[in-house]
Amino acid sequence: MVDPSVPESVRLADVAEPTPDADGVLVEVRHAALNHGDLNDARSGRVPAGAVLGSDAAGVVLRSGPAGPPSGTRVVALAAGAFAEQVIVSSGSLAEVPATVDLARAAALPVAGVAALRALRACGTLLGRRVLITGASGGVGRFAVRLASIAGAHVIASVGRQGRGAGLEELGADEVVVGLDGIDVPVDAVVDNVGGPQLVAAWQLLASGGTIQSIGWTSGEPAVFSPYSTIGPPKSLTSFLIEGPVADALADLVRLVESGALPVEIGWQGPLDRFHDAADALRGRRINGKAVLVVADAAHRS
Ligand SMILES: NC(=O)c1ccc[n+]([C@@H]2O[C@H](COP(=O)([O-])OP(=O)(O)OC[C@H]3O[C@@H](n4cnc5c(N)ncnc54)[C@H](OP(=O)(O)O)[C@@H]3O)[C@@H](O)[C@H]2O)c1
Give pLDDT tens digits for 64-90: 988 899 999 999 999 999 999 999 999
Please report, for the domain that includes residue 96, its CATH number. 3.90.180.10
Within a domain: residue 63? yes
Question: Residue 227 is part of which domain span?
Answer: 113-239
Q: How far is the CA of 244 from the centre of ligand 1 (A)?
A: 22
Within a domain: residue 73? yes
Residues 117 and 229 in one domain: yes
Within a domain: residue 258? no
pLDDT at 231 over 50: yes
Closest residue by Cα to residue 256 from 117, 94, 142:
117
Residue-wise pLDDT tens digits, 20-41: 887 899 999 999 999 999 999 9
181-204 burial, b if ≥16 CB within 10 A, otherwise e? Answer: eebeeebbbbbbbbbbebbbbbbe
Please report, for the domain that includes residue 123, its CATH number. 3.40.50.720
Q: How far is the CA of 61 from the centre of ligand 1 (A)?
A: 31
- Protein residue whose Cα sits closest to atom 9 of ligand 1: 216
281 CB near ligand 1 (under 6 Å): no
pLDDT at 180 over 50: yes
**pLDDT score, position 300:** 54
Residues 12 and 101 in one domain: yes
Three-state secondary-structure class, residue 45: coil
Last residue of a domain, one of 224, 239, 254: 239
Residues 102 and 168 in one domain: no
* Residue among 8, 218, 292 whose CB has most ligand 1 atoms within 8 A, to mutate: 218
* Residue among 193, 246, 292 whose CB has most ligand 1 atoms within 8 A, to mutate: 193
Residues 91 and 134 in one domain: no
Residues 171 and 225 in one domain: yes
Residues 126 and 86 in one domain: no
If you average pLDDT over residues 127-151, what whole number do you get?
97
User: Please, are residues 108 and 266 in contact by the beta-carbon 8 Å criterion?
Assistant: yes
- Please, where are the H alpha helices in 232-274? 247-259
Residues 141 and 205 in one domain: yes
Can you give the pTM of this predicted structure? 0.96
215 CB near ligand 1 (under 6 Å): yes
138 CB near ligand 1 (under 6 Å): yes
If you average pLDDT over residues 128-140, what whole number do you get?
97
Within a domain: residue 87? yes
Ligand 1 atom nearest to 136, measured from its CA:
43
- Protein residue whose Cα sits closest to atom 8 of ligand 1: 216
Residues 167 and 80 in one domain: no
Ligand 1 atom nearest to 164, measured from its CA:
40
141 CB near ligand 1 (under 6 Å): yes
**pLDDT score, position 21:** 83
Burial class (CB in 10 A: 0-12, 13-18, 19+), 87: buried
219 CB near ligand 1 (under 6 Å): yes
Residue-wise pLDDT tens digits, 184-198: 999 999 999 999 999
pLDDT at 150 over 80: yes
Within a domain: residue 249? no
**pLDDT score, position 32:** 98
- Protein residue whose Cα sits closest to atom 30 of ligand 1: 219
Within a domain: residue 250? no
Residues 229 and 138 in one domain: yes
Residues 232 and 123 in one domain: yes
Closest residue by Cα to residue 153 from 139, 133, 138:
133
**Cα-based angle 148, 292, 191 (whole degrees, multiple of 5):** 25
Confidence of residue 296 (pLDDT cuts 50, 70, 90): confident
Q: How far is the CA of 63 from the centre of ligand 1 (A)?
A: 35
If you average pLDDT over residues 155-172, what whole number do you get?
96
Residues 190 and 217 in one domain: yes
Ligand 1 atom nearest to 220, measured from its CA:
31
Number of Cβ within 10 Å of residue 283's Cβ equals 13
Residues 13 and 100 in one domain: yes
Residue 81, C-beta contacts closer than 8 angstroms, at least 6 positions apart: 18, 51, 52, 53, 54, 87, 88
User: Please, are residues 138 and 36 in contact by the beta-carbon 8 Å criterion?
Assistant: yes
Q: How far is the CA of 297 from the centre of ligand 1 (A)?
A: 28
Within a domain: residue 210? yes
Within a domain: residue 99? yes
If you average pLDDT over residues 150-159, what whole number do you get?
98
Instruction: Please report, for the chain, how many H helices and E strands are present, in that order.
Output: 9, 13
**pLDDT score, position 19:** 87
Domain count, the chain: 2
**pLDDT score, position 302:** 39
Confidence of residue 8 (pLDDT cuts 50, 70, 90): confident
Ligand 1 atom nearest to 160, measured from its CA:
41
Ligand 1 atom nearest to 198, measured from its CA:
33
**pLDDT score, position 206:** 98
